[in-house]
Amino acid sequence: MKIVIHPLFLAVMLFSAIFKGLPAVLICVLTALLHECGHIFCAQKMGFACTKIKLMPYGAAAFIDIEGIRPADEIKLALSGPLVNAAMCVALAGLWWFFPVIYGYTDILMYANLAMLIVNLLPAYPLDGGRVLGCAIKKFFGERAQMLTLRIIALVVAAIFFALFFALGYNVTAIIFAVFMLFSAFEKPVRAVRINFSSTGRLRRGIEVKYVLCDENLTFKDAIKRLSDRHYVVFQLYDGGVAEEITQDELYELSVSHSVYDRVFGDYLSRKDLPNSLSSMLPSISEETQSTPNDIPSSTAPESEE
């Protein structure tokens, strides 16, 4: 996983330093990274790949390919980030209860996590609350209405934060969230990147091949969880023995035309069931063909006697 720094990120750091808000911005960035780690951990558990984390002028953003995800899983993924911030708030409150002296050193961390939690639950795309709302809109009104509604809300929220920037005396946090809403509302999702061992030169040293034995219920979602850049994975279907196998390169090719919830060995099982279906039809076919010759002599017998 790569960590990429946007050129304007340094400009934001300089801007915040001029307005004497650099420490607060750094804590907000660290809080945003922690928030994104919650999304990444949940995505990997679900079988979706995160290609990179990018430090943007408005914070941090994890690029996760969730094409084909079910609404229920998307809601879980969206809420995983705020859940991390909520856990941090509870943990800090507990520390204050037992060690009140640390309040003066950790209060800004509490406020950053609390702000991250509240803001991300706003029903505006691409915030987590907006994604949850988007699942509901898509279900009842379709994808076009979903994106249009959420992006309009995002622009309204961006305008509100711009106004707060001036109303709160050039508040750095407000302008960061305003820029975040403005640019991220039109951010396009990034496609998954294929793991390519040959480009890293590791083939010269050798790469360990990992075999994963599974049954017919293995889905692409579960198979993707097994992939990493440390092993070359081969999935084997066990049916009283190894009946079929698929390499991770073949898995990637198949995933392009399948949903993450489809079975990896679905095509093989369909081919396997085909002979059984034909054999079940053979008895009825043979009975029909045998009945015709037997009927002919009985119908023509009277004519032959005459």
Domain parsing of the chain, residue ranges: 2-184, 203-291
Q: Which is higher by pLDDT, 184 or 38? A: 38
Is the pLDDT at 76 greater than 50? The verdict is: yes
- In sequence order, the β-bridge partners of residue 36 are none
Is the pLDDT at 82 greater than 90? The verdict is: yes
pTM for this structure?
A: 0.59
Q: Which is higher by pLDDT, 154 or 285? A: 154
Give the mean model confidence (pLDDT) for residues 172-194.
64
Q: What is the pLDDT of residue 203?
A: 65
Q: What is the pLDDT of residue 252?
A: 80
Q: What pLDDT band is residue 87 in, cutting at 50, 70 and 90?
A: very high
Is the pLDDT at 5 greater than 60? The verdict is: yes
Q: What is the pLDDT of residue 301?
A: 43
Q: What pLDDT band is residue 288 in, cutting at 50, 70 and 90?
A: very low
Residue with tokens 């400009």: 11
pLDDT in tens, 225-270: 788 777 888 999 988 888 888 888 888 888 777 777 888 888 777 7
Give the mean model confidence (pLDDT) for residues 78-92.
93
CB 223 within 8 A of CB 264: yes
Instruction: Tell me, letter by letter, the H, E, C secondary structure of 68-89.
Output: CCCHHHHHHHHHHHHHHHHHHH
Q: What is the pLDDT of residue 80?
A: 92
Other residues' Cβ atoms within 10 Å of the Cβ of residue 80: 21
Give the mean model confidence (pLDDT) for residues 143-149.
80
Q: What is the pLDDT of residue 305?
A: 42
Q: What is the pLDDT of residue 136?
A: 86
Question: Could you tell me how many residues make up the chain?
Answer: 306
At residue 236, φ and ψ (nearest 5 deg) are: -120, 130
Other residues' Cβ atoms within 10 Å of the Cβ of residue 201: 8
Mean pLDDT, the chain, integer: 77
Is the pLDDT at 91 greater than 80? The verdict is: yes
Q: How many CA atoms lie within 13 A of 35 on its CB side?
A: 29
